[in-house]
Amino acid sequence: MTRVLVTGASGFVGRCLCARLTESGFDVIAAVRHPLADLHEEQVVVGALAPTTSWGAALAGVDVVIHLAARVHVMSETSIDPYEAFRQVNVASTEALALSAAAHGIKRFIFLSSIKVNGEKTVDAPFGEQDAPNPQDPYAVSKWEAEQVLQRISSETGMEIVVLRPPLIYGPNVRANFLRLMRWVANGIPLPLASVHNLRSMLYLGNLVDAITTCIENPAVAGKTYLLSDGEDVSTSSLIRLMAESMSKPARLWPLSSRGLLLLGRLCGKSAEVERLVGSLQVDSTRFGRDTGWTPPFALQQGVAETVSWYRGAYP
């Protein structure tokens, strides 16, 4: 039985992934900061992710490491030196884990990166694996630097590296912008987004964990970097309509041009948030399907409906 260590096991992706791996017959070890009564997999307490974290006990007998733990992208940065804060957790700590994994004879190391490594938006064509990285903020830079560190360790040790760059991940327990958008729709707030015809790729949580599971033993993915998505791009206005339909509510949309929205965002100090609402970010994820035969098990509409169902239960 393949023994898999999952870091970040208590997080949004980690909990779902651990459950899926256990159901699929893998021997799962969940790396956690502290013991969790509601996490049913075998746990190993490693504390906070840091370059000095001791991984010896967690890696004993492990075949594959799935590294999810990270300092995530934050909307309101409070660190005096954001680059250094992200590098300590996302680069130096990843390097320490990978070196320890290689020393323990780990065969494969799967790293969850981010589409932000490619950039913040697309204009003429979707992002692809062949595109030059263009990270724009400390989080994205740290993910790109971590990818480079892992590739170096792979070349020096022979440990197989698989890098996955997802776009926005949504699903039950989602937070941040997707949750905020559902709340607006549920509360019937009129939104000036009827004229927004952008295209954005997203990735349902169930599709992500299925893709990660595919990467554990498939020989075709060794040493490669993949962009992932649901395979269906959607405009912000269409996404709102899908949410409203799943809630059996009207989509209260009214028209304001993208230029007007961006100007309003600048005046309100919310340029980045508005850009994500009106800009496009498309991902070409076909390479992963070609190499592995994988297709997303959940369609976009189903993923949105499942997420809305969770929301209505969590926020009645």
Axis crossing angle, helix 12-23 with helix 205-215, rounded to the nearest 10: 60
Neighbouring-strand partners of residue 226: 164
Cβ neighbours for 39, distance < 8 A, ≥ 6 positions apart: 9, 10, 15, 18, 30, 32
Residue whose entry in the numeric block shows the structure tokens 């997999």: 41
Length of the chain: 316
Q: Which position among 139, 170, 226, 311 bears the catalytic label?
A: 139
Helix (H, G, I), strand (E, B) or coil at 5: strand
Helix (H, G, I), strand (E, B) or coil at 98: helix
139 is catalytic: yes
The pair of three-digit structure tokens given for residue 2, joined into one six-digit string? 């393949």
For residues 64 and 108, the answer to whether their CB atoms sit within 8 Å is: yes
Cβ neighbours for 177, distance < 8 A, ≥ 6 positions apart: 168, 273, 276
Residue positions annotated with a catalytic role:
139
